[in-house]
């Protein structure tokens, strides 16, 4: 639930035919050659989600579901009584392991990343799917293009080495303008568009177990995917190539962002980038 947005952003229609931002992501993934989509959701939303979203493109791509339940934990761990908060994005990806056996992309369900990000990821894994240590991917966006005119945002600022590999992602909060945050318009930031091979899961589970050993009883503790990836880099278990997305990111951090996103989609439709109805074409 988006506290600043005031509702369930993943199910909010923004396209001219009632499409959600998530549907544009699925449409772009299909165009880039992806053959399966796994939705990581809470079981309590599954009926509404299937009726409102996935029913629209059933038959267009293989669909699977993973449920991020509080009791879905590694063997030997049990969720404490009273826990309400989900275990975090790293845990969300971990629960999808049984459904994933090939290179894959992880995205936020309420963000628009643009077709080029998916095409770039697909091409990347044609060349890097069997390397060791495994090479992962992070699609970056220039900071200025990810800000909201309706409030401050938090962004993960990327530090990249001379070969284009990620060194760190540092969270900057309450950003209103790049200059106010001591950054530039072109500073690369992560919007949580990651590309992984299944090698991720063994590293992820080991870190999840370590997290639970120390944080199991903390009702607010979360196991975050970006931090887990950062640990893998530090331990030299994986390398992460930072690739400029070459496209436009859009999101609805605040409810007042929605009209701007709707207008931008109409402009892209007028330019021929998308059909007026994603699933009738």
Greatest distance between any 2 Cα atoms in the chain: 55
53, with CB counted inside 10 A (0-12, 13-18, 19+), is: buried
In angstroms, the CA 50 to CA 55 distance is: 6
In the chain, what are the domain boundaries? 12-270
| pLDDT one-digit tens code per residue, 146-179 | 998 889 999 999 999 999 999 999 999 999 999 9
Give the phi and the psi of residue 177 in degrees, each rounded to 5.
-140, 155
- High-pLDDT (> 90) share of the chain, %: 81
Residue that the structure tokens 């499409």 belong to: 19
Q: Which helix (H) or strand (E) holds 142?
A: strand 135-142
Positions in the chain short of pLDDT 50? 1-6
In this predicted structure, what is the pLDDT of residue 29? 97
In this predicted structure, what is the pLDDT of residue 6? 47
Q: How many CB atoms lie within 10 A of CB 47?
A: 9
45, with CB counted inside 10 A (0-12, 13-18, 19+), is: middle
In this predicted structure, what is the pLDDT of residue 122? 95
In eight-state DSSP terms, residue 80 is P
Superfamily classification of domain 12-270: Spore Coat Polysaccharide Biosynthesis Protein SpsA; Chain A (3.90.550.10)
In this predicted structure, what is the pLDDT of residue 8? 65
Strand partners, 33: none
The 3 state secondary structure assigned to 7-49 is: ECHHHCCCCCCCCCHHHHHHHHHHHHCCCEEEEEECHHHHHHH
């Amino acid at each position: 639930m988006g506290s600043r947005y005031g509702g369930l952003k993943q199910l909010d229609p923004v396209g001219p035919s009632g499409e959600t931002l998530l549907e544009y992501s699925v449409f772009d993934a299909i165009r880039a050659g992806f053959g399966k989509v796994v939705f990581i959701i809470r079981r309590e939303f599954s009926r509404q989600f299937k009726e409102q979203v996935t029913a629209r493109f059933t038959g267009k791509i293989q669909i699977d579901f993973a449920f991020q339940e509080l009791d879905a934990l590694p063997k030997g761990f049990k969720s404490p009584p009273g826990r309400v908060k989900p275990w975090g994005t790293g845990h969300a990806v971990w629960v999808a392991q049984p459904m994933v056996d090939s290179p894959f992309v992880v995205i936020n369900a309420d963000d628009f990343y643009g077709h080029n990000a998916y095409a770039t990821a697909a091409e990347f894994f044609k060349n890097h799917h069997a390397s060791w240590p495994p090479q992962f991917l992070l699609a970056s966006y220039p900071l200025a293009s990810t800000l909201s005119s309706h409030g401050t945002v938090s962004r993960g600022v990327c530090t990249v080495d001379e070969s284009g590999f990620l060194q760190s992602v540092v969270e900057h909060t309450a950003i209103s303008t790049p200059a106010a945050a001591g950054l530039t318009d072109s500073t690369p930031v992560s919007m949580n568009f990651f590309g992984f091979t299944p090698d991720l899961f063994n590293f992820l589970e080991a870190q999840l177990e370590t997290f639970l050993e120390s944080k199991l009883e903390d009702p607010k503790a979360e196991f975050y995917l970006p931090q887990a990836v950062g640990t893998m880099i530090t331990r030299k278990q994986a390398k992460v190539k930072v690739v400029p997305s070459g496209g436009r990111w859009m999101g609805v951090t605040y409810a007042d962002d929605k009209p701007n996103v709707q207008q931008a989609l109409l402009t892209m439709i007028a330019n021929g980038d998308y059909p007026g109805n994603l699933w009738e074409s």
